[in-house]
Amino acid sequence: MYKIVDKKQLNEAVELMVIKAPYVARKCEPGQFIILRADNNSERIPLTIADYNREEETVTIIYQVVGYSTKVLYEKQVGDSVVDFVGPLGKPTELKKHKKVLGIGGGVGAAPLYPQIRKLHEMGVEVDVILGGRSDEYIILEEEFKAVTKNLYFATNDGSKGKEGFVTDILNELIANGEEYDEVIAIGPLVMMKAVVGITKPLNIQTAVSLNPVMIDGTGMCGGCRVTVGNEIKFACVDGPDFDGLLVDFDECLRRQNMYKEEEHSCRIGLEGGQNNA
Amino acid sequence: MPNMSPKKVQIPEQDPQIRRKNFDEVALGYTLEQAMEEATRCLQCKTKPCVDGCPVNVPIPEFIKAVEDGNIDEAYSIITKENALPAICGRVCPQESQCEGRCVRAKKGESVGIGRLERFVADYIMSKGNIEPKNIEKNGIKVAVVGAGPAGLTCAGELAKKGYEVTVFEALHELGGVLLYGIPEFRLPKSLVAKEVQSIIDMGVEINKNVIVGRSITVDELFEEGYKAIFVGSGAGLPKFMNLEGENLNGVYSANEFLTRVNLMKAYDFPNNPTPVKTGKRVAVVGGGNVAMDAARTAVRLGAEEVYIVYRRGEEELPARLEEIHHAKEEGVIFKLLNNPTKIIGDEKGWVTGMECVQMELGEPDDSGRRRPRVKENSEFILPVETVVIAIGQSPNPLIRQTTPGLSVESWGGIIVQEETMETSKEYVYAGGDAVTGAATVILAMGAGKTAAEAIHKKVLELQG
Ligand SMILES: Cc1cc2nc3c(=O)[nH]c(=O)nc-3n(C[C@H](O)[C@H](O)[C@H](O)COP(=O)(O)OP(=O)(O)OC[C@H]3O[C@@H](n4cnc5c(N)ncnc54)[C@H](O)[C@@H]3O)c2cc1C
Ligand SMILES: Cc1cc2nc3c(=O)[nH]c(=O)nc-3n(C[C@H](O)[C@H](O)[C@H](O)COP(=O)(O)OP(=O)(O)OC[C@H]3O[C@@H](n4cnc5c(N)ncnc54)[C@H](O)[C@@H]3O)c2cc1C
Ligand code: SF4
Ligand code: SF4
Ligand code: FES
């Protein structure tokens, strides 16, 4: 059993949890994830490691309530436990000592982006970040990002914070203004990452994305998480979750992500939308 | 006077038409009377050819004698001296090529039902309640076991019996390895796996679930934590695909994923359990081994109307246990033998609509002695299906070899060991089961775990002088 030592609501649908998990906390690195089961009849759900504390042996996750299992998790209180918490899974992100990097975080994608940006900052890399969300309320970790970025931009669908529109509108502007980035790191909903790559690929700007296909074991055993990258089949849980965005077959990812849409229809849990995005 | 009936005493089974719709066990098992009667068919051969066929040398005539006498406790203690998981082996061993294949009775008629008797003994004892855990004096020496499949569990149990402080590290949230996530409930009830696993835990083995060796902690770090020896029983969990066009379409599963969703995550009970699985009306399972039979029979139970086994060789070459093939046919699985898939076809939304296949014919025998299949010209056809399950084999997961310097492996990923001791190229690291052999059998994995336990014991004793 893995104890929930702290939790904090970040907005209506997004929550941060700090969980005691010695094995994960001792070894994890930015870019890796965990799989948890909230209780004995829950699904195994993958969540990115948003932060960790090696001394306290805790791991921080930030998740959006989108369906049944995230709802079960959401109902847990500080002092309760989750039954399973395994990791760290996946390969750590390979952060290169570039001169200048642009991070793009869509919705809850800001959570996995943050530890990477912080690490780049610590390495002395100059970083700009664009955060996107439905509205002001859906922008998370603003203060944290502020502390580690040179320029922080916002895009919201309703214009309640920053620019009205999408993160890609800002990306286009930055490029038009002659900003040059050695690498773009985009983490968010698949459609967002696809749109980002739609811009960076013609310009041949190196772009890292973090894929989140449906997973079960997270150890390479089931093959359910397979994605096509540069015409090769990869298992996102062991070969990723980070991949070269310019090589990813996003349409296939989008298709596969919807495999269980019918079964996971939000009416089952009384949630509206049920979309895993910003 | 031995019973000279040429046939085994029949084992009661669920009717095929009924069991097609449930996940309950197919074979119901002998009653005490039936078991005692079957036991009288054993000739108590002095040379014990059957025992030579058993990879862990269960004293077969001895335990059968005890059954004949109605002394089931005695039979159980004879079996468990050599085999820690009798209820499981009795159900899943390929007996026809092992113990029963060597039985003298098989020369004229059917062999003695050794597997059925073994299973009866274990079930009988377990149904009487808990088996008394024996009090074992600990020697304070720590040994780590990676993986809670049959190889790891057997090694852990054997070492615990000798007094070692054994800790098992398992990646998943349940114990049993393939016994749990692979082999379906209707063939091997999970409650039974849990009981046999519990009897090993009761020997004082410590279990550490949700720990992936290579990620959560490495082999070298285990040594730093004071483990004197490490047994790697990580299995062959990596599913093989065929590199066919259309293999990533929605509706294409590896057998591992299909079976894991159903067994480990209980998708058959969706939505009571939240993990879903997709089965169309028509399902094609590619492959001819136990894994393929399990996937096909699972699809039948999930409500598929037409389920095909697509296998590129002929009936004779099917590697599955005879009983599974027989049961699959009874349940209505359609065998498309001498057929090989060439492409999976999908609709504009990316869902499977069919599988293109070619017919095969058998040519000259290859190195393995099996006749080599070759493609018949102009024999392409499309099998209309909504689900495709690829069950063509598994190879060892690369994680441990990638994170353990000094561990030598074969080009295909199997860990290289010395056969007599199961020691790897890295001193004090042992390995066995599917991680070494590639996908094989439960009993071979157990045999390897046992051999390694003996070798570890010997080595540690030498060390202590
Ligand atoms: C490597 C990785 C890292 C992730 N990190 C985060 C994170 O930091 N924060 C966060 O909020 N979400 C993250 N996700 C997504 C998160 O796992 C899903 O939102 C969650 O599993 C949904 O479960 P549910 O039962 O609540 O929703 P459901 O009703 O089951 O599904 C809602 C949608 O979530 C997706 N989904 C469902 N099951 C899975 C699964 N087993 N694996 C992946 N996606 C699934 C599907 O697209 C589905 O349509 C990550 C996913 C992956 C693969
Ligand atoms: C569907 C199916 C049906 C089968 N039917 C039969 C049958 O009828 N008869 C028969 O004899 N055999 C059958 N087999 C084969 C048999 O199950 C295997 O040969 C046997 O289970 C191998 O045992 P093992 O202990 O080596 O590995 P496994 O059973 O694979 O167990 C390995 C364990 O190690 C864990 N693990 C892996 N990597 C790590 C890591 N890095 N850290 C921690 N833990 C890890 C895994 O999660 C797993 O629990 C079948 C196999 C399948 C898939
Ligand atoms: S363990 Fe398997 S091979 Fe050995 S006697 Fe039992 S059923 Fe036969
Ligand atoms: S070979 Fe057959 S008949 Fe002979 S002892 Fe073994 S089980 Fe009995
Ligand atoms: S989640 Fe099963 S192989 Fe990646």
What is the 3-state secondary structure of chain B?
CCCCCCCCCCCCECCHHHHCCCCCCCECCCCHHHHHHHHCCCCCCCCCHHHHCCCCCCCHHHHHHHHHCCCHHHHHHHHHHHCCCHHHHHHHCCHHHCHHHHCHHHHCCCCCCHHHHHHHHHHHHHHCCCCCCCCCCCCCCEEEEECCCHHHHHHHHHHHHCCCEEEEECCCCCCCCHHHHCCCCCCCCHHHHHHHHHHHHCCCCEEECCCCECCCECHHHHHHCCCCEEEECCCCCEECCCCCECCCCECEEEHHHHHHHHHCCCHHHCCCCCCCCCCCCEEEEECCCHHHHHHHHHHHHCCCCEEEEEECCCHHHCCCCHHHHHHHHHCCCEEEECEEEEEEEECCCCEEEEEEEEEEEEEEECCCCCEEEEECCCCCEEEECCEEEECCCEECCCHHHHHCCCCCECCCCCECECCCCCEECCCCEEECCHHHHCCCCHHHHHHHHHHHHHHHHHHHHHHHC
* Residues B133-165: tens digit of each pLDDT: 667 888 999 999 999 999 999 999 999 999 999
Cβ distance of A86 and B275 shorter than 8 Å: no
Closest CA to B231 of B338, B324, B150, B113: B150
CATH assignment of the domain containing A152: 3.40.50.80
How many Å lie between the centroid of ligand 4 and the Cα of residue B221?
A: 48
Q: Within this chain, do residues A67 and A106 fall inside the same structural domain, yes or no?
A: no
B70 torsion bin: left (phi>0), alpha (psi -120 to 50), beta (else): left
Q: Is the ipTM of this complex over 0.85?
A: yes
Q: Report whether pLDDT(A267) > 60.
A: no
Measure in Å the smallest separation between the Cα of B435 and chain A Cα atoms: 13
- Answer for the pair B142, B181: CB distance below 8 angstroms, yes or no: no
Q: Within this chain, do residues A108 and A234 fall inside the same structural domain, yes or no?
A: yes
Percent of chain B with pLDDT over 90: 71
Among A37, A212, A217, residue to substitute to test ligand 5 (most atoms within 8 Å of Cβ): A217
Q: Within this chain, do residues A192 and A254 fall inside the same structural domain, yes or no?
A: yes
Q: Is A183 part of a structural domain of the chain?
A: yes
B193-197, B203-207, B267-271: range with lowest mean pLDDT = B267-271
Mean pLDDT for all residues in chain B: 91
Closest CA to A24 of A48, A56, A63, A58: A58
CB of B465 within 8 Å of any CB in chain A?
Answer: no
Q: Within this chain, do residues A84 and A107 fall inside the same structural domain, yes or no?
A: no
Q: Whose C-alpha lies nearest to ligand 4, atom 4?
A: B45
Q: How confident is the model at residue B444 (pLDDT cuts 50, 70, 90)?
A: very high
DSSP conformational letter for B426: S
Closest CA to B423 of B171, B58, B155: B155
Q: Is A278 part of a structural domain of the chain?
A: no
At B24 the pLDDT is 87
Q: How confident is the model at residue A274 (pLDDT cuts 50, 70, 90)?
A: very low
Strand, coil or helix: what is B30?
Answer: coil
Q: Whose C-alpha lies nearest to ligand 5, atom 3?
A: A220
At A270 the pLDDT is 40
Q: Within this chain, do residues A104 and A179 fall inside the same structural domain, yes or no?
A: yes
Contacts of A216 in chain B (CB under 8 A): 257, 260-261, 264-265, 275
Alpha-carbon distance values, B4 to B49, B91, B140, B382, B465 (Å): 18, 25, 53, 51, 55
Q: Within this chain, do residues A253 and A118 fall inside the same structural domain, yes or no?
A: yes
- Count structural domains, chain A: 2
Kind of pairing between the strands at B206-208 and A33-37: unpaired
A206 lines ligand 1 (CB under 6 A): no
Ligand 5 atom closest to Cα of A224? 2
* Residues B313-358: tens digit of each pLDDT: 988 889 998 889 999 999 999 999 999 999 999 998 889 999 999 9
Closest CA to B323 of B58, B8, B6, B41: B8
Q: CA B61 to CA B44: how far, in whole Å? A: 5
* Residues A24-46: tens digit of each pLDDT: 999 999 899 999 999 888 889 99
At B274 the pLDDT is 74
Q: Is A136 part of a structural domain of the chain?
A: yes
Q: Report whether pLDDT(B86) > 80.
A: yes
Q: Within this chain, do residues A84 and A137 fall inside the same structural domain, yes or no?
A: no
Q: Any bridge partners for residue B358, and if so which?
A: B340
Q: Is A268 part of a structural domain of the chain?
A: no
Q: Within this chain, do residues A252 and A156 fall inside the same structural domain, yes or no?
A: yes
Q: Within this chain, do residues A9 and A130 fall inside the same structural domain, yes or no?
A: no
Which candidate in A28, A40, A81, A86 is best for mutational testing of the B interface (most B CBs within 10 A)? A86
Mean pLDDT for all residues in chain A: 89
Q: Report whether pLDDT(B272) > 80.
A: no
B375 lines ligand 4 (CB under 6 A): no
Among B178, B389, B403, residue to substitute to test ligand 2 (most atoms within 8 Å of Cβ): B178
Domains of chain B: 16-128 (1.10.1060.10), 142-237+396-463 (3.50.50.60), 239-393 (3.50.50.60)
For A244, the domain range is: 100-258
Q: Within this chain, do residues A243 and A105 fall inside the same structural domain, yes or no?
A: yes
